[in-house]
Structure 1
Amino acid sequence: MMSRIGVALMAAALLVYLAVAIWLAVMFFAVGTAVSIGMGVALIVLTPIGAWALVREMQFGFAADRLGRELDAEGGMPEAESELTPSGRIARSDADPLIARYAAEADAAPSDWRARYRLGVVQDAAGRRKDARASIRAAIRVARG
């Protein structure tokens, strides 16, 4: 529930940011100098790009959360098989074999989003955020079918 409140606050902040950025762009255009017009154009161009990036991240978060809740309800989330570090990560010595095992499972069942999602969870627990996001994105694509 708290994450949904956070998302709602971020969406509201985005709307305020868009309104202020557009207002500032109009003000820069009104000044009429080359520099101010350039800054106004930059605001007009960069504002939608920033909004697009935030919307994409929100879509990813909602889809990942939905799949995670579904997998957890099925009892399919991976269990911590080894000692975790104080930060909650898998110890480096245990990470590689564990990731290799879950990667083999995901490769053996390319149409199973659950295997891809589990791989992403294990990669995240090992501190490999970029790989984890890629695996969870793949799970989202497979789940959408």
Structure 2
Amino acid sequence: MVWIIGFLVVALFVYFAMLGWRGFGLIATGEVAGIGLGVGVILLPIIGVWLVYSTLRAGIEHQQLARAIKDDGRELDISHLPIRPSGRLERDAADELFAQVKAEWEADPEDWRNTYRIARAYDYAGDRTRAREMMKRAVGQYHHVQGR
């Protein structure tokens, strides 16, 4: 899987370089429209590089937390819960899991492990927006504990 991600990142950077080169070509025309379009085209690879970087960084940080949770033996065990044909948890089971994890988190919301677990519970419950918010919070808490 890592090699696929590496290949896609390299392909994106090649694309960004070609796009940037085209932007400079438009600027070199010296025409007002060309300069305006060239600046816009050059901004696209800059935004793309930032998006690739931030996505990869978040993925690496999430994997780091997942390994730490596994090492602590605090992963959410969903192996006994009923699963839909789509692979998602049954709604009632996901809600029950979420209620249990939420109670743990409310008891100690400053512990990154509890925040990580509630982020995963949000994901299992289908609330991706809150899952991302809580995962960002868990990463911040983890780095604070680690002194970074």
Tell me the TM-score normalized by structure 2. Answer: 0.86
Distance in structure 2 (CA, Å) of the matches to 1:61 and 1:98: 24
Identity percentage over the alignment?
33
Q: Which runs of 5+ in 2 are unaligned?
A: none
The question of whether the paired residues in 2 share the 8 Å contact of 1:88 and 1:125 is answered with no
Mapped contact 1:7–1:58 kept (Cα < 8 A): no
Give 1:84 deviation, angstroms.
1.2
Map 1:100-119 → 2, pairs under 5 A = 100-119=99-118
- Cα offset for 1:136? 1.2
Bigger Cα displacement from structure 2, 75-84 vs 63-72: 75-84
| Alignment RMSD | 1.7
Asked whether the equivalents of residues 24 and 42 of structure 2 are also in contact (C-alpha less than 8 Å), the reply is no
Equivalent residue pairs, number:
143
Give the Cα separation in 1 of the matches to 2:45 and 2:103. Answer: 42
Where does residue 67 of structure 2 map in the other structure?
Answer: 69
Give the TM-score of the pair, scaled to structure 1.
0.87
Structure 1: give runs of 5+ residues left out of the alignment. none
- Structure 2 matches for 1:1-145, cutoff 5 A? 2=1, 4-80=2-78, 81-145=80-144
Distance 1:23 1:79 in 2: 50
Q: Equivalent residue of 1:25, what SS?
A: helix
Identify which range, 86-95 or 16-25, moves more after superposition: 86-95
